[in-house]
Amino acid sequence: MNRTDKALKIFLSLKMQALEQKRKFTTLLTVFILPVAFWASLYYSAGEESTLIAVPTLNGDVQMLVPVKKSYPLDLGLMAVAWAMAVVAFFAESGSAEKDRRLVLCGYNPWQILLARSILLTGVAFITSIIPLTLFVPILSPKHPWILWLALFIVGLIALEIGLLIGALIPRHTEGILMIIALFGIGMSIQGEAAKFFPTYPARQLFRTGLFAEDPLALPFVEEGLLIFVILMMVATVFWYFMIRVHR
């Protein structure tokens, strides 16, 4: 098989996976709307009180007094994007594991299916990062909107790998979704030193610096976030490959 044929196979897999996702539109829309509705209800029901938060800047962490309602997206907004991406990735993986095995049995290379899925999900993560930005920018007036976008995109990438990993480890829908809810529930409530060990921590710091800092500190968190993404991708790939391998 020549290179063009391989590329065609990847393209066809991408097309078919995109068609499947498109036809799950109602489910996906619900997945995206739920956390946005949750955030909006919190935002508009919050009072005028302020809270102290640590904001990373080029001169180190600075304590800033910010309105409580402006601090909600720090955890909830990011976790909403993470939840949505993880669920989309989980459904993409867990629902098709046995069928992917059949495709491999028929001649598809596992990497072709995986590459197509990764391209598709990265595209979804990109779109997912743009949608909340259109809400956050006019409502929150961030100092650096592009850093906010980076935070949302990176959290989407990390979450999609978490979704793929859970899809490979717990392919049953109910248990898998409960696991995602539990994980991102922890992500929303975790604070202090413990928060540093949560995989979305770099995105959270990016979000803070982009939203509040005059002199934002972005690069170390982008690097850390991408490193977590790559590590999770490798782990998820190993488990997925183990799940769909054939014995020949």
**Contact positions vs another protein (CB under 8 A):** 1, 5, 8-9, 12-13, 16, 19-20, 23-24, 96, 98-99, 101-103, 105-108, 246-248
- Which of 96, 129 has the CB closer to another protein? 96
56, β-bridge pairs: 61
Euclidean distance between CA atoms 207 and 216, whole angstroms:
10
How many whole angstroms separate alpha carbon 224 and alpha carbon 217?
A: 13
Cβ–Cβ < 8 Å for 152, 128: yes
Q: Which residue, 54 or 105, has its beta carbon nearer to another protein? A: 105
Looking at the Cβ atoms of 31 and 80, the one nearer to another protein is 31
Indicate the residue among 98 and 175 with the shorter CB distance to another protein: 98
Q: What is the CA radius of gyration of the chain?
A: 19
Closest CA to 184 of 166, 164, 171, 200: 200
Least distance (Å) between residue 152 CB and another protein: 27
Tokens at 53, concatenated: 């938060």
* 168/243 with CB nearer another protein: 243
CB of 172 to another protein, least distance (A): 16
**Which H/E stretch holds residue 55?**
strand 50-57
Query: What is the nearest approach in angstroms of another protein to the Cβ of residue 247?
Result: 4
H helices present in the chain, as ranges = 3-22, 25-45, 68-72, 78-94, 97-106, 110-140, 145-169, 173-189, 201-212, 219-244
Instruction: Considering the complex, state which of residue 1 and residue 65 has its C-beta at the smaller distance from another protein.
Output: 1
Q: CA distances (Å), 75 to each of 38, 72, 94, 240, in order? A: 12, 6, 27, 29
